[in-house]
């Protein structure tokens, strides 16, 4: 177990007074280092470190308002990044705009408003490839093969579909450019309980096919049980990081963040 607290830990009321001990790798696909970020002048994240290696499946969990979505938005260039660096595929993307970041091989499915409700399913997928001169038909075919229900509904307005189908569409749209890393912000939110496992199975499938995944989830036990590594984020700071299994097995983590 690695507790990642900063030297002001006691003043912050965080666990113990341990020195910061986050792991970093030379070969990371995504490397977030000492990131401070927020909205306008409002700082939400402090000194956040995070790594995703090639093909890895990494989960961020933590209380509501901890800054999990802000981490995702920061990686995608949607926040005010005040300090620190973000490297992706060996390139510094700290100050890169979202329209350019998608060219680098990063796909992002936001927590909310992640589809165009007035467009059809097919049109939504085409929008996923809007940066290309021509819509890649093979990419649409791949998405339809992965999510057959989307093929059935291809002419239907996206806004008329169920929550699970919308979420599949949002993921399909983000897969249109065959990203190296897919950012998923609460993919199981709002799904009927019997659809949650199915959604996680589909994410496993995407990762098994070689796409690295960085996911934020409220459904923390399930997510940690499936991912390679996890981070617990609290109050905009790293609190714990370890393999998913080790976090699940840790009494303190269970008690404080996983409902016992
Ligand atoms: N666009 C925004 N402008 C100002 N503050 C925001 C904005 N989005 C989120 N916040 C604030 O940032 C903090 C972290 O939010 P968020 O990253 O959404 O947390 P989480 O995803 O962990 O629930 C919260 O206090 C939230 O109110
Ligand atoms: Mg969130």
Residue nearest to atom 26 of ligand 1 (CA): 65
pLDDT band at 15; cut points 50, 70, 90 = very low
pLDDT digits (tens, 9 = 90+) for 52-105: 999 999 999 999 999 999 999 999 999 999 999 999 999 999 999 998 998 899
pLDDT digits (tens, 9 = 90+) for 170-179: 999 999 999 9
Q: What is the pTM of this model?
A: 0.91
Ligand 1 atom at minimum distance from 63 CA: 22
Taking 50 as the threshold, does the pLDDT of residue 20 lie above it? no
Lowest mean pLDDT among 20-34, 81-95, 147-161: 20-34
Is the shortest distance between the CB of 166 and ligand 1 below 6 Å? no
Q: Which residues of 57-87 are buried (b: 16+ CB within 10 A; e: fewer)?
A: bbbbbbeeebbbbbbbbbbbbbbebeebebb
pLDDT digits (tens, 9 = 90+) for 180-230: 999 999 999 989 888 999 999 999 999 999 999 999 999 999 999 999 999
Tokens of 153: 């509904």
The residue ranges of every structural domain in the chain are 23-105+179-260, 111-178
Is the shortest distance between the CB of 70 and ligand 1 below 6 Å? yes
Taking 80 as the threshold, does the pLDDT of residue 7 lie above it? no
Nearest ligand (C-alpha, residue 74):
1
Is the shortest distance between the CB of 68 and ligand 1 below 6 Å? yes
Q: What percent of the chain has pLDDT over 90?
A: 83
Of the CATH numbers 3.90.1330.10, 3.40.50.300, 1.10.3470.10, 1.20.58.340, which one belongs to the domain with range 23-105+179-260? Answer: 3.40.50.300
């Amino acid at each position: 177990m690695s507790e990642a607290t900063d030297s002001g830990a006691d003043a912050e009321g965080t666990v113990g007074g341990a020195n910061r001990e986050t792991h970093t790798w030379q070969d990371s696909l995504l490397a977030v280092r000492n990131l401070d970020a927020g909205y306008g002048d409002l700082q939400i994240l402090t000194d956040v470190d995070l790594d995703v290696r090639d093909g890895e499946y990494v989960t961020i969990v933590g209380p509501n308002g901890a800054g999990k979505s802000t981490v995702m938005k920061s990686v995608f260039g949607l926040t005010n990044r005040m300090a620190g660096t973000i490297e992706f595929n060996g390139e510094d993307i700290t100050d890169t705009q979202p329209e350019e970041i998608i060219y680098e091989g990063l796909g992002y499915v936001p927590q909310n408003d992640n589809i165009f409700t007035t467009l059809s399913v097919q049109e939504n997928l085409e929008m996923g490839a809007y940066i290309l001169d021509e819509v890649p038909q093979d990419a649409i075919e791949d998405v339809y093969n992965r999510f057959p229900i989307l093929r059935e509904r291809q002419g239907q307005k996206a806004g008329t579909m169920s929550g699970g189908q919308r979420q599949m569409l949002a993921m399909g749209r983000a897969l249109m450019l065959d990203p190296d890393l897919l950012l998923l912000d609460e993919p199981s939110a709002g799904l009927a309980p019997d659809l949650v496992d199915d959604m996680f199975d589909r994410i496993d499938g995407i990762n098994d096919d070689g796409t690295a995944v960085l996911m934020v989830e409220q459904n923390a036990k399930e997510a940690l049980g499936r991912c390679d590594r996890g981070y617990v984020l609290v109050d905009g700071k790293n609190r714990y990081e370890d393999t998913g299994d080790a976090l699940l097995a840790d009494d303190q983590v269970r008690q404080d963040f996983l409902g016992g």
